[in-house]
Amino acid sequence: MNFGTLPSGEQVERVELSSGRLRAEVLTYGAIVRTLEVSGVNVVLGLDTLEDYLTRSRYFGAVVGRYGNRIANGRFTLDGVEYHLPINNGAHSLHGGTEGFDHRVWTIAGLTDASVMLALTSPDGDQGYPGTLTTTVTYTLAEDALRIDYSAKTDAPTVVNLTNHSYFNLKGGGDVLDHVIRMEAEHYLPVDEGKIPTGELAPVKGTPFDFTEPHAVGKRCDGAYDHCFVLDGDITVSAGGLTMEVTTTEPGVQFYSGSMLDGVETPYGPFAGLCLETQHFPDSPNQPQFPSTVLRPGEIRTSSTTYRFI
């Protein structure tokens, strides 16, 4: 189903998925999850028109890449060669650069009533990254869950860190400050003023970042979170009589509480939704002590994340 036409003339398609009490709409633009309904309640933030996604989006529902999150000063060195990326977040590169995967039209590579596979090829040098990267993202609705499967391969050494940037609101409206989170994460990544990790894996115990016991988003730090947590297990979020369980093969999750949404440049105000972006750590290409995000020819990088509703 056609969702609109880009200034380039490319068509953007809208795909509808359903399984049991779940319904979803996925766009080929940005591989965006536009809606995700649980028993008729839409639990993700989405926009009405393609023009809104071009001008008013804060990565709502999109797949970000090649590198989700920040790379310090927009540069990294791989095999002795320094690569330079677009600067689009203060002094740093964020979510793949100015024209990341969230701005691309993906190809439908497979489709069923409950699943869609989207494919994208990023050429060598795209946004400064080396190697031609071939990527697929598959969204599947099954057993009261949305599962996201990522796959990537390259023809030259590169770095890759794919994630989905959906904003969740389990009540279907209002703010998320009363959403209660429990996260199996004993450590988080402290950051500097530019939100670049210092390199330390700091204990959460005794800090506002301790969600090993359930806490409401707005209980501490005025609810303003935008930090990567080192996962030891699963995440649960509860609000409005609904619970979402998040499981992933990734080592970390960026918890962003939507504090910087302003209701002016975007249709949504502060704390309208929260993000749980499962991923490798920010700035890993410059921090060798972090799990590696390097991908080499002959390898296939895969990961899976499941959002299950109870």
Is 226 flagged in the annotation as binding?
yes
Is 150 flagged in the annotation as binding?
no
Is 83 flagged in the annotation as binding?
no
- Look up 165 and say whether it is catalytic: yes
Contacts of 241 (CB under 8 A, 6+ apart): none
Token readout for 167 is 């904003």
Question: Sign of dihedral through CA atoms 228, 61, 299, 286?
Answer: negative
CA distance 31 to 219: 33
- Look up 179 and say whether it is catalytic: no
Cα distance from N-terminal residue to C-terminal residue, the chain: 30
Nearest 5°: phi and psi at 219? -75, -30
Is 19 flagged in the annotation as binding?
no
Is 70 flagged in the annotation as binding?
yes
Is 69 flagged in the annotation as binding?
yes
Token readout for 159 is 């770095």
Q: Which residue out of 13, 25, 250, 277 is catalytically annotated?
A: 277
Q: Which residue out of 92, 95, 165, 280 is catalytically annotated?
A: 165
For strand 2-5 and strand 11-19, is the pairing parallel, antiparallel, or unpaired?
antiparallel
3-state secondary structure 67-116: ECCEEHHHEEEECCEEEECCCCECCEEECCCCCCHHHCECEEEEECCCEE
Enumerate the known binding-site residues for beta-D-galactose.
Answer: 69-70, 165-167, 226
Query: Known catalytic residues?
Result: 165, 277
Enumerate the known binding-site residues.
Answer: 69-70, 165-167, 226
